[in-house]
Amino acid sequence: MHSAVTVDPASPGTVVHGYTPATEADALAAVSAAASAAPDWAAAPPRRRAEVLTRIAELIERRADEVAALITREEGKPLAAAGGEAGKSAEQFRLAAQLAYLVEGATYPDETGATFGYTLRGPLGVIAAITPWNFPLSLAARKIAPALAAGNAVVFKPSPVTAGVGAWLADAAAEAGLPSGVMPLVQGQDPAAMTALVAAGEVGGVSFTGSDAAGAAIRRAARGRLQLELGGRNAAVVCADADLDAAATRVAAGAFDLTGQACTSTDRVLVDRSVAAPFVDLLAERVRALRVGHGDRDGVTTGPVATSAQFERLTALRDSAVAAGARVVAEASSDPDRDPSGRWVTPALFADVPAGHELVEGEVFGPYLSVLPVDSTERALGIVNSSSHGLVTAVHTRDLAAAHRFAHRARCGLVKINDRTTGNGVAPPFGGWKASSGGAFPEGGRQALDFVTDTKTVYLNYGA
């Protein structure tokens, strides 16, 4: 009997998926099941783990249209973006199939005579993967796939907003041959259940993507290793020599794609004052070309925001900024056939936002972008580096030396040069600096093995 449901944010009266939220006892039972299944999975040869991960990738690829439609119904993003997420998720599992063969050690020179030193790497045992609603499939894949590749069991806790996508992935993994207990599913958001999950002694690591506040709660409760991907307050910098047309296209994409609901979305653009006026005109054209509506409709570029809390927060943020003197330079259009009860937030470009206002100081996590003219790239870099967070920044310039200097000095985990702040590959590391991260373990690629494995040093004395 289902006691909770997910709904379509474009038509909140439409139920998408029903599920049973986990209790504290359910969470502990999932951890116990994972701990029991982990040793056999860890003992499986790399080929066996790689075969299962490859089959998961193949299932995602074969059913990409199905899962993309589910992502659009639960989270709201346009179908094309949801399809791209499915493709990225399959790629994550294919990469992890290779990682199964790369849980490697190292050898060391003899320091004392007749002694051989080497290291072994092994799985932590049980990983808790707690994933957000904005990329319900691809961020789950980025956490789960490398953990499984290294021989860990994973307790998977998807966002309750996208519980259906989480259940879809768990079913696909089971169909692909992942043994029972290796990836138990914990649904819902009961505080006692979530605390029990992260505090369980059998959980060797917690990988979480979400808000600063939830990350702080996990820090307080967890006993194992932490990998926390938290907020971003991201800026793009447009230099005087930039290709303004290309920069406008990429800045707009970074700010408004996915309805701005990505931790890497651009919240503000710092543009050299000498080119601010023409750049704002170009950016305004991109904003007016956006069309808000149901993600499965032709011509729609921007879906609804995912939750009622998002809608209320963003509506209040806009009202507050305008009341404080901010000017709306341009807005998107709307599909006239959209459901009026949907969680629609109109993408908007702002100027003259008062210094210190939350619209330019906080994380927007929605389809708003503020333009701030600056007198130099040096000043822009100072603003970027003064932020308490350090996830991603972008710089737009034709000067390669200037771009390299900016990348070298920017205090953040990712720097994009002549590109949008959003989007990343599966092989490079992904992680922020300062308050954008918790723990020293980025996600992505081969580096992901550092979080999900422990290293043991062995000394072999072969002397007489």
- Inter-residue contact 262 to 296 (CB < 8 Å): no
| DSSP at 178 | P
Quick check: is 229 catalytic?
Answer: yes
Pairing of strands 126-130, 153-157: parallel
| DSSP at 17 | E
Quick check: is 412 catalytic?
Answer: no
Q: Which amino acid is at 89?
A: S
- Inter-residue contact 93 to 53 (CB < 8 Å): yes
Residue 102's CB is within 10 A of a number of other CB atoms, namely 12
Q: Which amino acid is at 402?
A: A
Q: Which two tokens stand for residue 267?
A: 């919240």
Q: Where are the beta strands (DSSP E) in 380-443?
A: 389-390, 392-396, 414-417, 433-434, 437-438
Residue 459 sits at the vertex; the CA angle it makes with 454 and 464, to the nearest 5 degrees, is 165
User: 85, 91, 239, 263: which is the annotated catalytic residue?
Assistant: 263
User: 75, 91, 229, 363: which is the annotated catalytic residue?
Assistant: 229
CA distance 395 to 408: 12
- Inter-residue contact 125 to 151 (CB < 8 Å): no
Nearest to 435 by CA among 212, 218, 255, 252: 212
Nearest to 261 by CA among 319, 303, 292: 303
| Sign, Cα dihedral of 351, 355, 358, 363 | positive
CA distance 197 to 154: 11
What helix, strand, coil percent values describe the chain, rounded to 5?
A: 45, 25, 35
- Inter-residue contact 287 to 298 (CB < 8 Å): no
Catalytic residues: 229, 263
